[in-house]
């Protein structure tokens, strides 16, 4: 293929000669003798000198595609296609052998030249222009200290998770125990809270003042004794009261649980190191709003026939839907002791025999 193109180029450069004379133009065609052995030898020499390139190798794939296409279109027979394919493969083999024999990476000579120049400069007569102390101290000017990358920057806010658990009680306005507590098992009555929120330092990273806000889920459980439960007493015109459980020969357990959403806002004095939280002594004071979403009274035991009996009643029992409490907290690092006392009576006015306030003291932890 290359021979054909080369012969064509050489022929076109010598074939056509124009002779002009008055009134006519004559074209002299080449004679067969033009293609002498000398011309052929020169053509072969040019071919040998011109090493194939990657583009030449890529052309073989186009020739193979063309043969396959001609075979599918019926322009070539199976035998003709096979013959052409063998010829192309033979030419490809010779061309690839020549290509890889003469292949030199583009950057190899440059790299070798640069390396020789560099070595000569540092070891030859010109090495004085590169003082020894210059390249010995080059890396001393670079700061490789990455300790600051791993150091925690002082924080002004942090997310917190808290879990608190402790006893609760009903108290009067003078902070004495309500008479209703005579029918309550104090050791089995408790309050628990799970809290998710944020502490934010007020006044910069050095300020000990922090504001804690968030949302919690709380539960207050009262365990009654003496066979009592809470109900709306018809003898008191439907007001809530602690009344005896009827229809059971034996009462095993009687509880009343109040579930709520808690929204605290507590101001802390946190004496933790600068930029940290819950790493030292801390004192807090604030308020906590409460939204009741569930109130259930339940009891179980044996009925008059000795069979097991249980009953669960869902009722608000005239308790307030909304309430708020004053909160005090004392902590050291993660450990917290929290006191809480609601500021409105637990029951609506005139719907319970006494104005009882819900209070609790809980122990828990706060993680950040």
Domains of the chain: 2-101 (no CATH), 155-367 (2.40.160.20)
Put simply, whether the predicted model's pTM sits higher than 0.95 gets the answer no
Cα 305 to Cα 249: distance, rounded to the nearest angstrom: 8
The pLDDT mean for the chain works out to 80
3-state secondary structure 310-343: EEEEECCCCECCEEEEEEEEEEECCEEEEEEEEC
C-alpha separations of 79 from 8, 65, 114 in Å: 28, 17, 56
In 178-202, which positions are buried (b, 16+ CB within 10 angstroms) versus exposed (e)? bebbebbeeeebbbbbbbebebebe
Using N-to-C axis directions, what is the helix angle for 78-101 and 54-73, rounded to 10°? 170
Tell me what the mean pLDDT of segment 172-197 comes to. 95
More confident residue, 90 or 49: 90
Cα 199 to Cα 266: distance, rounded to the nearest angstrom: 9
Nearest Cα to 300, choosing from 341, 338, 347, 247? 247
**In contact, 247 and 212? CB cutoff 8 Å:** no
DSSP string, 169-208: EEE-TTSPBPGGGGGB-GGG-EEEEEEEEEEEESSSTT--
pLDDT at res. 365: 93
- Tens of pLDDT along 344-366? 999 999 999 999 999 999 999 99
For residue 277, pLDDT beyond 80:
yes
Lowest mean pLDDT segment, chosen from 96-110, 239-253, 312-326: 96-110
In the block, tokens 């000795």 appear at 306
More confident residue, 4 or 247: 247
Q: pLDDT category, 83, cuts 50, 70, 90?
A: confident
Lowest mean pLDDT segment, chosen from 234-238, 327-331, 341-345: 234-238
Lowest mean pLDDT segment, chosen from 47-61, 99-113, 231-245: 99-113
Cα 269 to Cα 286: distance, rounded to the nearest angstrom: 12
- Tens of pLDDT along 116-150? 665 665 555 555 555 555 555 554 555 555 555 45
**In contact, 215 and 261? CB cutoff 8 Å:** yes
For residue 162, pLDDT beyond 50:
yes
pLDDT at res. 14: 38
pLDDT at res. 50: 63
Cα 99 to Cα 60: distance, rounded to the nearest angstrom: 13
For residue 11, pLDDT beyond 50:
no
Q: pLDDT category, 181, cuts 50, 70, 90?
A: very high
In the block, tokens 């802390």 appear at 268
For residue 8, pLDDT beyond 90:
no
């Amino acid at each position: 293929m290359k021979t054909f193109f080369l012969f064509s180029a050489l022929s076109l450069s010598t074939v056509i000669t124009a002779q002009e004379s008055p009134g006519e133009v004559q074209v002299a065609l080449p004679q067969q003798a033009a293609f002498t052995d000398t011309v052929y030898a020169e053509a072969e020499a040019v071919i040998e000198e011109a090493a194939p390139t990657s583009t030449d190798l890529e052309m073989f794939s186009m020739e193979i595609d063309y043969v396959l296409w001609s075979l599918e279109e019926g322009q070539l027979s199976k035998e003709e296609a096979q013959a052409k394919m063998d010829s192309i493969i033979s030419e490809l083999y010779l061309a690839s052998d020549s290509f890889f024999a003469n292949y030199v990476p583009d950057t190899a000579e440059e790299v070798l030249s640069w390396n020789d120049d560099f070595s000569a400069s540092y070891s030859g007569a010109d090495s004085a222009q590169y003082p020894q102390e210059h390249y010995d101290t080059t890396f001393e000017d670079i700061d490789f200290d990455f300790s600051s990358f791993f150091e925690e920057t002082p924080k002004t806010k942090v997310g917190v998770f808290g879990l608190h658990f402790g006893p609760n009680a009903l108290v009067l306005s003078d902070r004495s125990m309500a008479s209703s507590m005579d029918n309550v098992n104090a050791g089995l009555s408790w309050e628990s809270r799970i809290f998710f929120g944020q502490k934010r330092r007020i006044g910069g990273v050095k300020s000990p003042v922090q504001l804690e806000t968030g949302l919690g889920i709380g539960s207050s459980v009262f365990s009654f004794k003496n066979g009592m439960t809470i109900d709306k007493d018809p003898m008191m015109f439907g007001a809530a009261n602690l009344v005896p459980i009827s229809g059971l020969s034996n009462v095993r357990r009687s509880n009343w649980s109040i579930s709520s959403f808690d929204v605290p806002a507590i101001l802390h004095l946190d004496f933790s190191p600068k930029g940290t939280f819950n790493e030292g002594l801390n004192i807090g004071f604030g308020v906590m709003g409460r939204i009741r979403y569930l109130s259930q009274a339940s009891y179980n035991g044996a009925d008059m026939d000795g069979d097991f009996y249980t009953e669960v009643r869902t009722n608000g029992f005239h308790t307030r839907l909304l309430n708020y409490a004053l909160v005090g907290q004392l902590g050291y690092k993660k450990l917290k002791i929290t006191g809480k006392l609601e500021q409105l009576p637990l029951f609506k006015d005139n719907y319970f025999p006494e104005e009882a306030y819900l209070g609790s003291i809980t122990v828990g932890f706060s993680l950040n």
